[in-house]
Amino acid sequence: MGLNLKKIFSTEEIIDSPLYEEYYNVNEEESTINGGEGKKLMLLEPRAYSESQQIADYLKNRSTVVVNLKRVTTDQAKRIVDFLSGTVYAIGGDLQKIGGGIFLCTPKNIKVDGKITGDEDKAKIHDNSDIDIEW
């Protein structure tokens, strides 16, 4: 009764099982080992609610997305945040507000450490809106 190492270390059974969860919609080129070029940070400024689907597609493809909602109406911004909340919940990701109308959406494979403080203590907060970077 010899051990069959190929059978012990085979992943075919795991991949074919219904419990195997395919990790979003990522092709082999994007899913490189050690965090290669498949991971991107997308900066998006939607101009309408209809662009929410594109943001969700980036998240499904394991990209981190920073969404600036300053170019949409308040009602559209709320709808976009609601849609993205559902999206990140479905993929096991996270949604964090990082500024006025700016949100960080991360897929399951990205862990965010640290915290951005709110406007609770206005005496210690500086606007710094005049800082501009041009390259």
Task: Render pLDDT for 78-108 as a digit per residue (tens, 0 to 9).
Answer: 999 999 999 999 999 999 999 889 999 999 9
Beta pairing partners, 41: 64
Judged on CB neighbours under 10 Å (0-12, 13-18, 19+), 84 is: buried
Q: What is the pLDDT of residues 54-65, one digit of tens each?
A: 999 999 999 999
Task: From the options 3.30.110.150, 2.30.30.30, 3.40.50.740, 3.10.20.30, give the CATH code of 37-110.
Answer: 3.30.110.150
Q: Residue 63 to residues 13, 23, 133: CA-CA distances in angstroms?
A: 29, 12, 25
pTM listed for this prediction = 0.65
